Structure 1
Amino acid sequence: MRRTFKWGFIGVMVLIVGLFLDYTLPQHDVVRITDTYNRVTPLGSLNRLFYASPDAGTKPGTAAPDIRFIAAVRPNGKVIVYRNEDTGWIWPPFFKFNSSNLQAEASAMKSTADAPRWVMVTNYGWRIPFLSTYPNAIGIRAVSGPDVKVFPWLNIFILVVLALIVVFFWRMWVRFRERTLDPLIAGGQERWDRTEARAENAAADVKSWWRRIIRRGR
């Protein structure tokens, strides 16, 4: 039971970390931009977490935010819509402050199916239709065609750094456990064994005393 709980807990933690990284790490999509627009988007309690802060320098209000969107089409014909929000100084740490400029760049790169102009949109996040969430575009650049691929150097670097951090803290934990916790646990076990032995001896003495009383009574 204990082993099952342990591996179940580890599995849940790995799943949570994997989903967090999948949401946060940048992705690169080759698309054709078809439209750019602004839309007042009321945010609810379920999807507010997936939206970034207001534009840097503006004061958050209580009204529904006016969010920029970029509509696009993938090479396979499937549509994709990106939101275009500043991330500011908060998480994820892309330090994006140029959503207005990015919207202007996206508008200038619009094209039609007859004369496609392919661009690469760097983004993070998920498209969840029933929650009305969209990936956030953080960069746009023109590419030569729909088959352009980008090797994820940044993602690999981030994953390697995270792995090194995990290994470092794991080694610290192992050393702390060997030097501090294990001696305490061993000492506590020894004290428990001595206490248990004394309790057994006391119980044996009580039984012996009670037997002597019974014999005298007879």
Structure 2
Amino acid sequence: MRTWVFGFLTVALGTTAIVAYSVAPDVEVVRIVRTTTERVAFNGTRFTSLMPQQAGEATARDVKFIRAVRPNGEPVLFRNEDGKSVWPLYPKFNSFDLQALATELTSDATDPVWVQVTFKKDPEPPAFVAPTVQQAAPNVLSLSRTDSPDGASIVNEMLLALISGVLAMLFLSISLSLGAQKWVRRRAA
């Protein structure tokens, strides 16, 4: 009976760790190139660029974008919108402040200013479905200036190591307690 309880606890804690890892925000170091505000249409299920003929069919709103470049030169696009709900656990109400900070941190390749961006990526759609603006451009949660472009991978690796360490300790404690129980039973017999 105890084996089933410990097995259930292991599965429950493992599932909780996986969900926590998938809900946790990502961190990346980039050089901000440009900030823009674009009119985007929402037609019920998808965001599309607003064309004149679509103006009557869709509800439009302004979306703030932050265009950036990774240290390897690859371009990346971030979205900067306030959170409309409390899921996925990161409501945000400071998009105008972040946009002003992003504009201030804009730099060029000759004198780069590296910025650590904390962002939340929305779930990926299936391969046969076109991604929405929300899925194609992750939403920025915070910006902070950093000295070198090497800091983001350390944060992500530390989070993964922490979750792995907790799971390993849990597994070891369960297996040791089960082994000790079997040893005590054999000793008593």
TM-score normalised by the chain length of structure 1: 0.51
For 2:98, what is the secondary structure of its paired residue? helix
The 3 A distance-change label for structure 1 pair 148 and 47 is same
The 3 A distance-change label for structure 1 pair 21 and 46 is farther
CA contact (8 A) 1:26 1:155 kept: no
Structural RMSD (CA): 3.6
CA contact (8 A) 2:27 2:155 kept: no
Q: Aligned partners of 1:138 and 1:89: how far apart in 2?
A: 14
Cα-to-partner distance string for 1:159-195 (whole Å, 9 max, x where unaligned): 69xx8xxxxxxxxxxxxxxxxxxxxxxxxxxxxxxxx
1:29 aligned residue: 28
> What count of residue pairs does the alignment treat as equivalent?
134
Larger Rg: 1
Deviation of the 1:44 alpha carbon: 4.1
Please say which of residues 24-33 and 36-45 is displaced more in the overlay. Answer: 36-45
2:155 aligned residue: 151
Match of 2:115 among 92, 115, 119: 119
CA contact (8 A) 1:124 1:136 kept: yes
Which structure would you say has the larger RCO, counting Cα contacts within 8 Å and 6 or more residues apart? 2
Q: Given the alignment of the two structures, is residue 42 of structure 1 paired with residue 41 of structure 2, yes or no?
A: yes
CA contact (8 A) 1:30 1:118 kept: yes
Q: Aligned partners of 2:38 and 2:20: how far apart in 1?
A: 27
More helix by percentage: 1
Q: Given the alignment of the two structures, is residue 140 of structure 1 paired with residue 124 of structure 2, yes or no?
A: no
Deviation of the 1:99 alpha carbon: 0.4
% identical equivalent positions: 31
Q: Aligned partners of 2:29 and 2:75: how far apart in 1?
A: 12
2:97 aligned residue: 101
Show structure 1 runs of 5+ residues with no match.
Answer: 1-13, 49-61, 164-218
Q: Aligned partners of 1:85 and 1:138: how far apart in 2?
A: 9
Cα-to-partner distance string for 1:126-176 (whole Å, 9 max, x where unaligned): 58894243100000000011122342499569969xx8xxxxxxxxxxxxx
Cα-to-partner distance string for 1:59-108 (whole Å, 9 max, x where unaligned): xxx72110000000000100000000111542112121100000000000
CA contact (8 A) 1:38 1:67 kept: yes
The 3 A distance-change label for structure 1 pair 78 and 19 is farther
2:7 aligned residue: none
More strand by percentage: 2
CA contact (8 A) 2:21 2:160 kept: no
TM-score normalised by the chain length of structure 2: 0.58
Match of 1:86 among 47, 63, 82: 82
2:183 aligned residue: none
The 3 A distance-change label for structure 1 pair 89 and 64 is same
Show structure 2 runs of 5+ residues with no match.
Answer: 1-13, 48-57, 168-189
Q: Aligned partners of 1:136 and 1:106: how far apart in 2?
A: 13
Q: Aligned partners of 2:162 and 2:82: how far apart in 1?
A: 21
1:201 aligned residue: none
